[in-house]
Amino acid sequence: MTGPSYGLKDKVFVVTGGSRGIGLEIARRLLSEGARVAICGRKAENLETAAAALGPSDRLLTVPAHIGRQPDVDRLFAAVIARYGRLDGLVNNVGMNIASGTLDADADLWRKIIDSNLTGTYLCARTAGRIMRDQRAGKIVSISSIAARRAAPLMGIYGVAKAGIEMMTRVLAQELAPFNVQVNAVSPGMVRTGFSQPFWENAEIYQRIVAGIPLGRIAEPSDVAHAVLFLCSAGADFITGQTLCVDGGASAV
């Protein structure tokens, strides 16, 4: 796989939601760097499909886990430590949305979206942060969204959850800085994945979206993956508490 090198050989990473979309591409890029990667997802069959897509590797571990549940999170990180003995990086990638007006949503929908996006990210970051604090080294990168800063129809609860991730990034960056742990986030605009397929596969909608993006296209998963790998690299050792926008310049308009 061509592209820049980030010096991550033999580093150990957890990528949540690594069975598809952005998470799968991040896992692919990490493996191409020679890193050791654990991916998790709620469905074992999706993890099997992802493992087949990534190819056979003794540097890949798949762990079925619901990151909104602490016992699953504990089991995930215990499996990683048991196999690799340490943890160098966590990529919080799990995200979901159920389109709904915020006023029309009920409390159960609110909890489902908040738990999947924000609570799960917190539980993983807390668990990984404690391991890294003891190691006195590590990187945590969470996937946010421009929805955290720009309200959009049917994306309200999702946007609230992602805004929470960006604040949590700043809080954890301060708490973990004395232990040489850097905590950052990546905020993409629309990415060409199954999550956003109803938008980008419709030519009319796509053109409306691209009209607001100075670089003239939506992001590919690799665009996000490269930003994540940079923040996981030694080149970002003096960057913490930041959110890097990967939106083709949309937020600059």
Encoded tokens for 90: 């966590």
Full strand arrangement of the beta sheet holding 89-92? 60-64, 36-41, 12-16, 89-92, 138-143, 181-188, 243-246
Max CA distance (Å), the chain? 52
Catalytic residue among 84, 122, 158, 206, which? 158
End-to-end CA gap in the chain: 33
Domain limits for position 42:
12-252
Cα angle 242, 166, 156; round to 5: 145
CATH number reported for the structural domain that contains residue 239 in this entry: 3.40.50.720
Number of domains into which the chain is organized? 1
Given a contact cutoff of 8 angstroms between Cβ atoms, the answer to whether 1 and 28 are in contact is yes
Helix (H, G, I), strand (E, B) or coil at 12: strand
pLDDT by 10s per residue, the chain, length 253: 567 889 999 999 999 999 999 999 999 999 999 999 999 999 999 999 999 999 999 999 999 999 999 999 999 999 999 999 999 999 999 988 888 889 988 999 999 999 999 999 999 999 999 999 999 999 999 999 998 998 888 778 999 999 999 999 999 999 999 999 999 999 999 999 887 788 788 889 899 999 999 999 999 999 999 999 999 999 999 999 999 999 999 998 7
Quick check: is 179 in a domain?
Answer: yes
Is 158 labeled as catalytic in the residue annotation?
yes
The pTM of this model reads 0.94
Single-letter code of the amino acid located at 177: A
Quick check: is 5 in a domain?
Answer: no
Encoded tokens for 79: 């499996």
